[in-house]
Structure 1
Amino acid sequence: MAKKNKRAVHEAVPAPAVQATFPLWGRRFFPPVFFLLLSLIYFYEFPLSDQIIYGTDVGTDYHEGANLSVWEKIQTVSQPMWNPKMGGFPQSEEIRPQYFPTYPIYFFTAFQRYIGWRYILTMFFAGLGMYTYLRQVNIGHWAALWAGVAFMSAPTFLAFPMAGQYAKMGVIAIFPWMCLFLERGMERGRLIHLVGLGGMIGLGVYSHPPNMFYALLGLGVYFLFKVYQIYREKADLKLLVQRSGFFAFSVILGLALGAEGAFPLFFYTRTESKRATGEEAGGKTAEQQLAYARSWSLHPEEVASLVVPEFGGYDAPLEGRSNYWGRNPFKINSEYFGVLAVLLALMVLPEFRRRPQVAMWAGIFALALSYMLGQHMPIHWVAYHLLPGAKVQRAIAMGSFVFAFAGCVLAGLGLHRVLEADEEERAILRRRLLIAGGALTGFALLLALFPKAITGGWIAALYSDITPKKQQILAAGYNWIAKGGLYVALVAGAGTVLLYLRLQQKIAATALIAGLCLLTLFDTWRVDKVYLHYIDPDRYADIREENPRAVQFLKGDSEHFRIFPLPSFKILGQPGYHLHGVPIITGFHDLTIGRYDRILQELEPVVQMLSAKYLQGAEVPYGDRELLAAIQPLLNLLNGKYLAVPKPLELALADYPLRFESERFRLYENTQVLPWFYLAPEAEVVKDGEQALERLRSGRVDPQRVVLLEEEPPLVLDGAGDPSRDRIEQLTYDLPAGLIRLRTHNDGPRVLVVSENYHTNWSVFVDGEQAQMLRANYVWKGVIVPAGEHEIEFRYFSSTLAWSRAATFLSLLCVLGIVGRALRRRSVATAA
């Protein structure tokens, strides 16, 4: 017996040698290393230099954080309460990008460099997530590896850097992991997996809440399918209830984890932001809101572009090229996810009746695409009226990642069938391949040969209301469309040949996957590269140091005020023209308060005419004096003390004397501007907001003398006392902390007006006693102050933020407890 044991030990010795010869690509570490290397190669210019990745939404502050200490950057994690931009908005209700796990990278580099590293990590997790999910649903290593490459390189995902929309990319990268934990939780019923799903939902919320709306819709359909599958296969009511409870728990947990980044934003957007419905908030009517919710949707041209992305076209702004002839104003992205993914998905689609996974993902693909088509399909109208949050969504095409993910999963399923099929199945797959590959290649070749005829037929059948401008763009892009069709034909044809050779058992799986990966990267890169642009920040001055004389002059003015940049606020975003730290009247922000945005709409026609005149050289029927006179009362109301005019433009208006001139700007003073704080001796009640705005716009009322209120004041304002003897002393003006303290000395009862946007999170106290805060002059906040000396304090407090922050903290404790319990159990099991 002893001899046999010795022989057994002796014979077991060569085992490590066998392990050592195991192929590199079969090792467990190979997929993450592969996806990480691919991500680094894709952005190779970034880690090997000091460059940054250009993105419009990231802004032109290329040196942000470069001169801050680590401690100063850590302090940016704290969210300010109020932001003074554009009349002020509740920053406490904004999303929390600083809560995302990658944010600590910023502590050790400049902000724009941090964004670059986040792009790399996001791409890596997208590919690895797709691979891991497909392995979970029993897809082979090679098929899952290729599908990961297809998803992480898809323009649906990688066309966002140009727009600087890294936050949307974060949700897209997390979505495969959500599906992974949902699949594991529904199959195994272990609490740790559903906690994982909740954690992924929470991370998605802190990346981009609007995009998470579409991720949750996709997860909801996935869950309903799993419920149906359990019911059909097991008919176990108890199991069904348990899994449903687990899913509900994970979603609630995820929303609780992300509560601080989700609920303040959600409720504010629905009530007082520019996206809100209702005339009282200065927002949109129900009809306008529906049109707004359908804005930037997909159209039939984008569906055809899923096969040939050049068909409907896309813009290349940095190249000065516009090839988009579709129905949206412009397009700086693409929903394309690769023709090979379309080919492989079509190959497996006929199996939807006998393969539940195919049926589920085909259904998700169809539902998601129908939703993104907006007004072209009824599903969006139904969802708009039934789903919470659907009414405040816009740019619904951002949810295209759901059908792109579904398409890549179907492609992975199809490739797995190609690799694992037996002889009989291979014969069936060869027929499907020839049909699908031939159709895709044929369509692409026809488009390459006859772009004018194909697009002309499309227009005649589906797009009869195309504008002359779009027709001109299309006509100029025929050669570009033909070139794109040729590219797709080559990729689809080559992919068809490789797959056919594999189905004939004439090439190995490794050769097939290598070929498909190269074709996929070639196919997607021609689109991706358009939206990847590097900038050397050292070529640009720090915006804090631009125009120092003009900024010093403006900041040297002891009063609070705003400036009105002419001809457009966009001038101040150009290199060399920043006026950092100076508040302006106009601009853009998603969270602008509805009523302030309504006033900006009154200014917009004048801004457009000035831009046409000075930026485009167009003839306009009015002179500068007439244009500015039309908006003078609103400029006064909005504290527009200076007109900032870039050189060489020059104004010669008596009402706006030149006060300062620097290398790049002339500053003209508005001598009729209203002060930031004022005590009005009289008030007029105008309960209709639009009527109040019309009175103010027309100039028929002096808002400093007669304040327009929308409810009866608690005191009678009869103009008693001498207004010239009234004084206001500023004690504290800390908007990030949400505190304004003033001391007033007034000769009679007055309305104190503060030129910051009215918002319900503010409350006011007079001599320590809470008073009624009033909406004054349509947008500002005010309070009635009796005669005499008084101390006025405006305090900001968000109850939504308070309870959502508590929910986040408690849910985090819950997660830590569950994870700790799971780790202890694993430790005990390992020890046993």
Structure 2
Amino acid sequence: MAKKNKRVAHEAVSAPAAQATFPLWRRRFFPAVFFLLLSLIYFYEFPLSDQIIYGTDVGTDYHEGANLSVWEKIQTVSQPMWNPKMGGFPQSEEIRPQYFPTYPIYFFTVFQRYIGWRYILTMFFAGLGMYTYLRQVNIGHRAALWAGVAFMSAPTFLAFPMAGQYAKMGVIAVFPWMCLFLERGMERGRLIHLAGLGGMIGLGVYSHPPIMFYALLGLGVYFLFKAYQIYREKADVKRLAQRSGFFVFSVVLGLALGAEGAFPLFFYTRTESKRATGEEAGGKTAEQQLAYAQSWSLHPEEVASLVVPEFGGYDAPLEGRSNYWGRNPFKINSEYFGVLAVLLALMVLPEFRRRPQVAMWAGIFALALSYMLGQHTPIHWLAYHLLPGAKVQRTIAMGSFVFAFAGCVLAGLGLHRVLEADEEERAILRRRLLIVGGALTGFALLLALFPKAMTGGWIAALYSDITPKQQQILAASYNWIAKGGLYVALVAGAGTVLLYLRLQQKIAATALIAGLCLLTLFDTWRVDKVYLHYIDPDHYTDIREENPRAVEFLKGDPEHFRIFPLPSFKILDQPGYHLYGVPIITGFHDLTIGRYDRILQELEPVVQMLSAKYLQGAEVPYGDKELLAAIQPLLNLLNGKYLAVPKPLELALADYPLRFESERFRLYENTQVLPWFYLAPEAEIVKDGEQALERLRSGQVDPQRVVLLEEEPSLVLDGAGDPSRDRIEQLTYDLPAGLIRLRTHSDGPRILVVSENYHTNWSIFVDGEQAQMLRANYVWKAVAVPAGEHEIEFRYFSSTLAWSRAATFLSLLFVLGIVGRELRRRSVATAA
């Protein structure tokens, strides 16, 4: 009896000891640590150095925030109302990247270093999200671990750093978590999962609202499938109604949380931005808008590139290499998500009839890919006409992450089948593996051996309108394509061998996963590394300190004005050529007001010819005098007081005398420029905006003397008084706060014109009484002012911002209430 008790006691003590000897990869914390380490290794040059990760959209301000205190950085969370860039645009309606949870990192470093840490955390979050989602749908931890590696390393995701599109990556990383909470909510219907899904949607909105559109489409299809599954399998109408309400309320909650980052942008984009349709906004016709919405879509070549990324090619700007022979203007990304993911997804595809998860994700993959193909399928056309928000989207290929995620999920399902199959199932899977693996390896080998013949056959069948330039690029890329085909053949072949050995029970599951992870990282890294570039900011002067003499001269001018950089505004983005804080006429911004963008289109032919002449050494049929004369009236209208010309370029024009010369710039003055504020004694009503623009462009009217309006002013302009006696005094000019205060004096009624873009969020008050705001000279805002002395106040207020901010605050309180309730419930359960 004593021996028996001793044995029982020994077993009781040994149980925890046995548990403690579980392999490391079976520990609960292992996936999170693994994905974090992998993320740090991927960006290994960043964490322990002072380097930053180069990205074009992040800009060339490599020292942003270096001279700001923590408190000053905290103040950047507050959104300015109006931005003076390019005639001015409503910054209040812009995306709110400072609301994203990683933003506080910026308080303790420079902005570019913050972006680097955000890349690392984003990659980690993506891998862990995929793993957690697959575990939720009963995929084994090994298969889920590999699928996490496949998704987080996919070029579909990790080709964005070169473009500096960290915000898009944020949505892609959050998408698996959205799917996780949707799955849990549809299965369990608990409030905490409703809050989780809403919270993830809100996070995505504050990262990048346009790409969130595609995430919501993917979630919508996911929900419809789950709803159909509930109805078909359980015929439970009450449960279906509850879950439908759960999903709708979660989306509403998420959009409410992200309201401040979504709705101001959405409504502005539809009405007054350059993306808006209709002449009223200076935007596009319906036909132009459809073409715009289908721009930067995928094309058939990109579909083949899902197997071999080099097939359609991609550009490597920093290597000075272009191998993209497709139909878009250029390509600095890849939709590739790994040939092993394609292999495993195709292996499990035949089971779609008896495995609902396979059917759902295969359907999402097919729909998403069809949508991204734009004009090549009817799916996008239908969505464009039926779905709210589709008409203001562009660069639709950015939604490719939806089918990449679907492909990786299918691959995870396939790998799970390989690991868990019984003998009979393994025999079936071996046959599929040989067919699919052989086909993929064979295709890649044929491309490696015969790149010219393979691409030539493709062109004959699907791309007969290829341009001579693209044919030249293709011809120069044959060796590169062949090399890529060989890489894919090796990875696909090696992966096929490993999977086959496992299906014959000749290698352990852990060895298979380790091998597949290494192959996957090798496969994706060759593409990812092209778009990962580090620079040392210490090698670059702070842009605030570049060209100090030229900037001091320009800022010393007491008047408001803009400069016109020649030959192109892009020269001001080059190291050593920044003119920090000086407003310029030209440039690029997604939120440029439509009518201002329309004027820039009138300047573009001249800018292109000057760029061709001075940057490319091409011959143009006109001299500098003729080119500038063609746009002189518009330069005057847009307050282009100085031409900023980089050395060694030099102008010798009587209309533009040299006013200042520094080490890098010559500044020429436009002596005919219009003032920023002016009082026009006469007005002409031209209700058609394009006619008004044509009159201004041609110089048929002096806009300072005769202002062009599109509606009758509230006062009759009788021409009384001497215009030379008119005076305007600036009292307040605070554009970030949305406030302009002026004092005017005139002997007769006048039209006061302010050279800032007209926008409906502005209101005007004359001596404290609200007055009619007029659109003057096609783009500017104006008000009729009676004779005498008056105080004029321009106030900016966005009603959309006001109600969306209230919605965000209230929904945040609601979510915090749900989370607090859940924490209390768990506390009570633990105590019990």
Write the distance in 2 (CA, Å) between the matches of 1:194 and 1:175.
Answer: 15
Write the distance in 2 (CA, Å) between the matches of 1:202 and 1:5.
Answer: 59
Deviations 1:422-443 (A, max 9, x none): 0000000000000000000000
Write the distance in 2 (CA, Å) between the matches of 1:345 and 1:11.
Answer: 45
Indicate the SS of the match to 2:654. coil
The corresponding residue for 1:277 is 277
Indicate the SS of the match to 1:39. helix
Write the distance in 2 (CA, Å) between the matches of 1:266 and 1:490.
Answer: 47
How far apart are 1:47 and its partner, in Å?
0.5
The corresponding residue for 1:662 is 662
Write the distance in 1 (CA, Å) between the matches of 2:344 and 2:827.
Answer: 43
Indicate the SS of the match to 1:683. strand
Deviations 1:542-576 (A, max 9, x none): 00000000000000000000000000000000000
Indicate the SS of the match to 2:482. helix
1:687-766 correspondence to structure 2 within 5 Å: 687-766=687-766
How far apart are 1:830 and its partner, in Å?
1.1
How far apart are 1:7 and its partner, in Å?
6.6
The corresponding residue for 2:24 is 24
User: Cα gap change, 1:785/1:424 in structure 2, threshold over 3 Å: closer, same or farther?
Assistant: same
Write the distance in 1 (CA, Å) between the matches of 2:605 and 2:405.
Answer: 42
Write the distance in 1 (CA, Å) between the matches of 2:139 and 2:363.
Answer: 19
Indicate the SS of the match to 2:770. strand
Indicate the SS of the match to 2:56. coil
Write the distance in 2 (CA, Å) between the matches of 1:143 and 1:599.
Answer: 56
Deviations 1:158-184 (A, max 9, x none): 000000000000000000000000000
Write the distance in 2 (CA, Å) between the matches of 1:829 and 1:541.
Answer: 59
Deviations 1:56-104 (A, max 9, x none): 0000000000111000000000000000000000000000000000000
Write the distance in 2 (CA, Å) between the matches of 1:438 and 1:11.
Answer: 51
Write the distance in 1 (CA, Å) between the matches of 2:6 and 2:830.
Answer: 29
How far apart are 1:197 and its partner, in Å?
0.3
How far apart are 1:233 and its partner, in Å?
0.8
Write the distance in 1 (CA, Å) between the matches of 2:7 and 2:796.
Answer: 81
Write the distance in 2 (CA, Å) between the matches of 1:819 and 1:571.
Answer: 51
Write the distance in 1 (CA, Å) between the matches of 2:406 and 2:657.
Answer: 62
The corresponding residue for 1:623 is 623
Deviations 1:686-745 (A, max 9, x none): 000000000000000000000000001111112111001100000000000000000000
Deviations 1:220-269 (A, max 9, x none): 00000000000011100000000000111100000000000000000000
Indicate the SS of the match to 1:707. strand
Write the distance in 1 (CA, Å) between the matches of 2:529 and 2:821.
Answer: 46
Indicate the SS of the match to 1:280. helix
Write the distance in 2 (CA, Å) between the matches of 1:2 and 1:169.
Answer: 65
Write the distance in 2 (CA, Å) between the matches of 1:718 and 1:123.
Answer: 67
User: Cα gap change, 1:50/1:520 in structure 2, threshold over 3 Å: closer, same or farther?
Assistant: same
Write the distance in 2 (CA, Å) between the matches of 1:824 and 1:448.
Answer: 61
Deviations 1:782-803 (A, max 9, x none): 0000000000000000000000
Indicate the SS of the match to 1:13. helix
How far apart are 1:108 and its partner, in Å?
0.1
Unpaired stretches in structure 2, ≥5 consecutive residues: none
How far apart are 1:192 and its partner, in Å?
0.4
Write the distance in 1 (CA, Å) between the matches of 2:776 and 2:551.
Answer: 31
Residue identity (%): 95
How far apart are 1:3 and its partner, in Å?
11
The corresponding residue for 2:309 is 309
The corresponding residue for 1:238 is 238
Write the distance in 1 (CA, Å) between the matches of 2:830 and 2:461.
Answer: 67
Deviations 1:653-692 (A, max 9, x none): 0000000000000000000000000000000000000000
How far apart are 1:807 and its partner, in Å?
0.1
How far apart are 1:19 and its partner, in Å?
1.6
Write the distance in 1 (CA, Å) between the matches of 2:368 and 2:719.
Answer: 62
Q: Which moved more, 1:542-551 or 1:716-725?
A: 716-725
Indicate the SS of the match to 1:14. helix
How far apart are 1:9 and its partner, in Å?
4.4
Write the distance in 2 (CA, Å) between the matches of 1:780 and 1:138.
Answer: 60
Write the distance in 1 (CA, Å) between the matches of 2:166 and 2:326.
Answer: 25
Deviations 1:256-286 (A, max 9, x none): 0000000000000000000000011100000
How far apart are 1:4 and its partner, in Å?
8.1
Write the distance in 2 (CA, Å) between the matches of 1:91 and 1:217.
Answer: 27
The corresponding residue for 1:534 is 534
Deviations 1:106-130 (A, max 9, x none): 0000000000000000000000000
Write the distance in 2 (CA, Å) between the matches of 1:780 and 1:108.
Answer: 41
Write the distance in 2 (CA, Å) between the matches of 1:442 and 1:632.
Answer: 62
Deviations 1:296-354 (A, max 9, x none): 00000000000000000000000000000000000000000000000000000000000
Write the distance in 2 (CA, Å) between the matches of 1:678 and 1:210.
Answer: 39
The corresponding residue for 1:297 is 297
Write the distance in 1 (CA, Å) between the matches of 2:221 and 2:16.
Answer: 47
Write the distance in 2 (CA, Å) between the matches of 1:755 and 1:21.
Answer: 74
How far apart are 1:194 and its partner, in Å?
1.2
Write the distance in 1 (CA, Å) between the matches of 2:150 and 2:619.
Answer: 50
Write the distance in 2 (CA, Å) between the matches of 1:54 and 1:375.
Answer: 33
Write the distance in 1 (CA, Å) between the matches of 2:381 and 2:20.
Answer: 59
Report the TM-score, using the length of structure 2 for normalisation: 0.99
Indicate the SS of the match to 1:414. helix
The corresponding residue for 2:831 is 831
Write the distance in 2 (CA, Å) between the matches of 1:67 and 1:343.
Answer: 51
Indicate the SS of the match to 2:279. coil
How far apart are 1:20 and its partner, in Å?
1.9
How far apart are 1:766 and its partner, in Å?
0.1
Deviations 1:130-178 (A, max 9, x none): 0000000000010000000000000000000000000000000000000
Indicate the SS of the match to 2:717. coil
Deviations 1:356-405 (A, max 9, x none): 00000000000000000000000000000010000000000000000000
Indicate the SS of the match to 2:795. strand
Write the distance in 1 (CA, Å) between the matches of 2:655 and 2:432.
Answer: 76
- Match status 1:484 vs 2:484: yes
The corresponding residue for 2:602 is 602
How far apart are 1:11 and its partner, in Å?
3.4
How far apart are 1:14 and its partner, in Å?
1.5
Report the TM-score, using the length of structure 1 for normalisation: 0.99
Write the distance in 2 (CA, Å) between the matches of 1:363 and 1:810.
Answer: 37
Q: What is the RMSD of the two structures over their aligned residues, measured on CA atoms?
A: 0.9
Indicate the SS of the match to 1:701. coil
How far apart are 1:10 and its partner, in Å?
4.8
How far apart are 1:640 and its partner, in Å?
0.0
Write the distance in 1 (CA, Å) between the matches of 2:11 and 2:265.
Answer: 67
Write the distance in 2 (CA, Å) between the matches of 1:491 and 1:194.
Answer: 41
Write the distance in 2 (CA, Å) between the matches of 1:418 and 1:13.
Answer: 37
Write the distance in 2 (CA, Å) between the matches of 1:450 and 1:231.
Answer: 52
Deviations 1:17-59 (A, max 9, x none): 1022110010001000000000000000000210000000000
- Match status 1:445 vs 2:445: yes
User: Cα gap change, 1:2/1:226 in structure 2, threshold over 3 Å: closer, same or farther?
Assistant: farther
Write the distance in 2 (CA, Å) between the matches of 1:253 and 1:188.
Answer: 18
The corresponding residue for 2:140 is 140
User: Cα gap change, 1:562/1:372 in structure 2, threshold over 3 Å: closer, same or farther?
Assistant: same
Q: After the TM superposition, list the runs of 4 or more consecutive aligned residues in structure 1 that deviate by more than 2 angstroms.
A: 1-11
How far apart are 1:514 and its partner, in Å?
0.5
Write the distance in 1 (CA, Å) between the matches of 2:236 and 2:29.
Answer: 39
Indicate the SS of the match to 1:765. strand
The corresponding residue for 1:546 is 546
How far apart are 1:16 and its partner, in Å?
2.1
Indicate the SS of the match to 1:484. helix
Write the distance in 1 (CA, Å) between the matches of 2:16 and 2:280.
Answer: 76
Indicate the SS of the match to 1:791. strand
Indicate the SS of the match to 1:755. strand
The corresponding residue for 1:130 is 130
Write the distance in 2 (CA, Å) between the matches of 1:695 and 1:4.
Answer: 106
Deviations 1:181-221 (A, max 9, x none): 00000001111011100000000000000010000000000
Write the distance in 2 (CA, Å) between the matches of 1:463 and 1:136.
Answer: 43
Q: Which moved more, 1:185-194 or 1:80-89?
A: 185-194
- Tell me the matched-pair count: 832
Indicate the SS of the match to 2:162. helix
